[in-house]
Structure formats: structure tokens, C-alpha cells
Amino acid sequence: MRTVISVYGAEEKCASCIHLPSAIETKEWLEAALNRKFPDAAIEYRYCDIQFPQTEEDRYYAGKIQADEYFYPLVVLNGRVVAEGDPHLPDIAKEVAALADVAAE
């Protein structure tokens, strides 16, 4: 099964997230951390700019963020929201481990 982690955001940080890393930085941080934790997992990482959504799923989540239903960065794992605003690595790693059927150490 293909695992896709999409991180939604914008160049400009949301007002409540000004002290946090940008969405692009969050995507890069997640990619580095999860690749270390799950070196054999085939995970695709995507950054999706909410101002320029590319796919139908991107348009859906971009619209939700713009309607203030979610904060960004928004982390979506295989079409399911797993974190928003201030994502926590242990929670995301648990979701990846369950999905990949890999025991998180």
C-alpha cells in the first residue's frame, strides 16, 4: 500500500502559528524524522500550497483551511487528517506505524 503524507500550508504563516515552523519546514522535518524512524517504508511526502491546490483533495483541504475549519500546517496521511497547527511527531509516527504495520520503537 502506498503511503502519502501531505502537508498543507502557505508561504505566510497563520497568525496563531507565527512561532512555529512553516508548512514547508514542517514537511521537511517530518520527512527527515519519519525516514529515520521507518527507513524501509515507502512514504511519499508532498507540500501543498493552499493558494495553488493541484488535485481535488488539495482543493478540498485548502478550502477547509481557508474557511478556518483547520489550522495549517495541516498534515494528512492517506486522505485522513492526523495533525494541524503544531504537529507532534510521536502521534504522526504512531499513525504511520499502524498504517505500515511497522512496530514503532
pLDDT at 101: 63
DSSP label at 6? E
Which amino acid appears at position 92 of this protein?
I
Q: Count structural domains, the chain.
A: 1
Decide if 15 is inside a domain: yes
Q: What are the beta bridge partners of residue 45?
A: 5
Decide if 93 is inside a domain: yes
Q: Print pLDDT tens along the chain (105 aa).
A: 679 999 999 877 666 666 678 889 999 999 999 999 999 888 999 999 999 999 999 999 999 999 999 989 999 999 999 999 889 999 999 999 988 664 344
Any idea what the CATH number is for the domain that residue 12 is in? 3.40.30.30
pTM of the full predicted structure?
0.88
Domain around 35: 3-100
Closest CA to 31 of 10, 3, 57: 3
Decide if 105 is inside a domain: no
